[in-house]
Structure 1
């Protein structure tokens, strides 16, 4: 296949462009995927705002973005087994850091996928699963990865900080794991409504009631070394708000677990005495090397036992790229915004 296409790339802070580039060709171990749908992630918006992955050093080359996607295999390189053209697939972007520092990004009609292997990078899609739903496997597996790190069990009482797309995906995956006591906290009522629709048992607007009061009322409360605690077993930080994390840390009970999934822009102070005295287990979760979780999330999607409709708020054709970015940045009126490519050609 020859020709050119448009590819979304970050050139600097606030500067994202649809660049005209050569259509990629698959080499050994690679396939070319025609993109059917690609979700806009909070990290994409962060890369655009910062002008790169970390915003510390200037970009040496434009940064391709887009990593939540599914589509159809359009061409196959050499040394690829078990994959055929026309195969519908969801793609785990971990290999090659697709849309996250690597040379390829999925906000384009076509993308080259390296390390093309079934069950690791490429996951076949049943015909009844649309590309937009399949693209949810990536953010859902981000949430699932954190839950696996925390060894969440059905009987656990879980609190999620932030009802953005990853927080909402954590709700869905908690329900998938059989957890029935799920609390989530945010300041945006429309997000909380989506969380309730996905199965959260408590969706609290912290402008009306504090997280501590709500958790004390719903998960129970206690005391350790003269300080009040709540009965929450696991906290999932999907907000990236230092005040919220500090509050959760301040009331975490003995041997509570805390996973940091959010992107923090600056260092956040942590009370290490409390961490030691309460034996709090705290870890980060970036969701790489998560092929198993990706496959599990996709199986959940294909199974259709959970209504994931609340996760997707908008669909935009790739031609309306900049409008889609504006909507995705509006936390009060959007959840997952999907780019679709029906009208796009090479």
Structure 2
């Protein structure tokens, strides 16, 4: 029997296990990466809770983990510019890593299919921390949504939700040159992290409404007898129907809304307001964001921003169950980063 490792896989609702599987070997066009760091995403927690990707029951266990970085340890034939020892971050999109593929990054090693520089594999400079490199995935999710909404430096922006993607949105808004950034949540510790990342206003919605806070921070006006906030762009990272409804009521003429959040059921919206104020709503699943992935990594490598407020915990993979529990606790955590033993195989 060949060498084995443990891999986190979902078997059913609430049933996630560390299965013993063979360490992969690369075929043509493939590479094997030793995982150094892997972030726990809200989608991972969702897959575990529902026991699937959101459709029907699983036909086979679902490997999870898609926010990761590590070292190339083996390369198959016909892979150009990739060699063992190369430090890389991995864009999971092409192979649906951790989202339907047999491969997931919550294990010591992972097979990367279609191994290509600038597509799936992105080289890391020696000074780049693996954990921060793993943030390229959620950072690029936020950046993709902002690009689709054409956010400009002069825009006044409101971020709805200060979870990991909301925090990434603040970081990428600062990267794009935005300064008038407000963020809303119900967890003070996350709002404190958002302030450290550069948000100019952080409001607990249990204490002040989004509408009142934005009119105070961004200014207000009147259109057709209705009050509006002078906010140019809303970035929905929370996925709560009542919040989106409030935003549409307070949005100004030609405001834009980027929906990055995952809505688990249909939402009821005031389409008259949407029409009368020519509000643009853009959805963003970040399924094709190679330029944004590269841009996020470049930002990390330059040390453009201090991203330490974003990673609340670094927990060894041997404490996988404890890491999941912390990641589920919004009061305690932001991005929980799993770390892996980096001794040679």
TM over 0.5: yes
Quick one: distance in 1 between partners of 2:275 and 2:27?
A: 51
2:37 equivalent in structure 1 = 37
Instruction: Give 1:25 shift.
Output: 1.6
Quick one: distance in 1 between partners of 2:2 and 2:295?
A: 36
TM-superposition CA deviations, 1:90-110 (whole Å, max 9, x none)? 001101100011121000000
Instruction: Give 1:331 shift.
Output: 0.3
Where do residues 55-204 of structure 1 align in structure 2 (5 Å cutoff)? 56-204=55-203
Runs of 4+ in 1 over 6 A off after TM superposition: 343-346
Quick one: distance in 1 between partners of 2:284 and 2:100?
A: 18
Quick one: distance in 1 between partners of 2:87 and 2:208?
A: 46
Match of 2:315, SS state, is strand
TM-superposition CA deviations, 1:115-156 (whole Å, max 9, x none)? 111111111000001111110111111111111011000000
Quick one: distance in 1 between partners of 2:259 and 2:99?
A: 19
Match of 2:36, SS state, is strand
Instruction: Give 1:75 shift.
Output: 0.5
Quick one: distance in 1 between partners of 2:125 and 2:270?
A: 48
Where do residues 313-328 of structure 1 align in structure 2 (5 Å cutoff)? 313-328=312-327
2:207 equivalent in structure 1 = 208
Quick one: distance in 2 between partners of 1:345 and 1:334?
A: 31
Quick one: distance in 2 between partners of 1:224 and 1:48?
A: 46
TM-score scaled to structure 1, two decimals? 0.98
TM-score scaled to structure 2, two decimals? 0.98
Query: Does the CA-based 8 Å contact 1:317-1:343 persist in structure 2?
Result: no
1:48 equivalent in structure 2 = 48
TM-superposition CA deviations, 1:53-106 (whole Å, max 9, x none)? 11x411111100000000000100111001111000000110110001112100
Quick one: distance in 2 between partners of 1:147 and 1:220?
A: 22
2:339 equivalent in structure 1 = 340
Query: Does the CA-based 8 Å contact 1:315-1:340 persist in structure 2?
Result: yes
1:261 equivalent in structure 2 = 260
1:225 equivalent in structure 2 = 224
